[in-house]
Amino acid sequence: MKLFKPSYIDFDIASYSWKPDIDYREHPELYRVGKGEQGVLICEPYKSEISQHWRFKTPAIAEASSKKILELFRCYLKVNDFVGADMARKYLQMGYTRARRYANYKGGKKYDKDKGYQQMERYTGDPEKAESARIFYARWKTAEANELYSQLKKDWKQERG
């Protein structure tokens, strides 16, 4: 039986499209949309601007956090900064996925390193994290439904990838 390995094991940073030493505000042409949350913890200066607000421990914290990040998303769009808007959208998505992971897996740990990275048993006993996930999900979908963002994303992908 072949053992499963999560994608972060043996990760090849050199081939990753996003680089920590690039200022993506100064060089937006180097940014790639990617899939899901790719690049969210790397792309500066957006990472530093947005991550300080990213929290999901309780529904009240998730409410304030997601509200602020959606506000940043709209501010980036106002100045036609697609990269910033996309990064804010990714943080909203990540708020949802991480809160869901904590709702589904005790301590947020999905894989057991000591058992060949077998997936841990699902745990659905944290209603606070499930509610935090719901809050982030709603704001994530609000961002994705924004017409200007959708058009900018479509144009960006056609022009740059």
15-72 pLDDT, tens digit each: 667 788 899 999 999 998 888 888 889 999 999 999 999 999 999 999 999 999 999 9
The confidence score (pLDDT) of residue 96 equals: 97
Half-sphere exposure of 127 (CA within 13 A, CB side): 0
The confidence score (pLDDT) of residue 74 equals: 98
The confidence score (pLDDT) of residue 13 equals: 66
Phi, psi for 119 (deg, rounded to 5): -70, 135
Q: Which alpha helices (H) appear in 52-146, and where do they start and end? A: 59-78, 82-104, 127-145
Q: Is the predicted pLDDT of residue 136 greater than 90, yes or no? A: yes
Instruction: State which amino acid sits at residue 116.
Output: G
Instruction: State which amino acid sits at residue 28.
Output: P
